[in-house]
Amino acid sequence: METSLRLCSKVQSNGEIHVIIGPMFAGKTTALLRRVRFESNLGRKVVVIKSSKDTRYAVNSVVTHDGTKFPCWALPNLSNFKLKFGIDEYHKVDVIAIDEAQFFDDLYEFCCNAADIDGKIVVVAGLDGDYLRRNFGSVLDVVPLADTVTKLTARCEVCGKKAIFTLRKIDDTQIELVGGADIYMPVCRKHYVNVAHPVANEAVETQKHPVEPLL
């Protein structure tokens, strides 16, 4: 933490940090790409980064659940991005968008450097909590640095009401278990508490009014 505080102590420019959080299937990546297109249309140079752990839909693209793609850099960490991208090219970048941000342990330090020192607009999208409703990665650590924070919701796949949590449908206790609708489902508070993991699939299949997930 002392290192992080030192990194943020030299404010030399007017960067920005915008955080997008929520459960799975809430449309975080869609919101991120919407911001990317907005910034691109303003003539700003945008670079998109995602965690290399996320290979669900594509290796070198950010992909929404409905199939929308955008090319990106897939990295195991953020600390070496500037060198990998090239110092000269990095200086030309105006906006850095980070998807699946919960997987980056060095997210806080990177955002400090990029926004406070390098003057970049940083857009961060990621899960705020894991399937146990605990802090996931460093996403929430960035909230005190942020200009804006947007909390998105999905639709509960059991009752169709507003979903704020992610329920894991299989008995696997590892925290970083990357997957999609085959492993996870968005649920409201009531059904997070009342629907046991082993019967989550059955609950979805027997509901009377199926609801399409909000992408």
DSSP 129: B
Domain 2-152: CATH class, spelled out: alpha beta
The model carries a pTM of 0.80
Token digits of residue 87: 């110092």
39 is a catalytic site residue: no
Token digits of residue 109: 């330090």
Q: Which of 100, 176, 202, 212 is catalytic?
A: 100
Condensed to tens digits (0 to 9), the pLDDT of residues 11-66 reads 556 899 999 999 999 999 999 999 999 999 999 999 999 988 876 666 677 877 66
Per-residue model confidence (pLDDT) at position 209: 44
Q: Is 57 annotated as a binding residue?
A: no
Residue 199: pLDDT above 50?
A: no
Domain ranges for the chain, please list them. 2-152
Distances (CA, A) of 41 to 38, 106, 115: 5, 30, 21
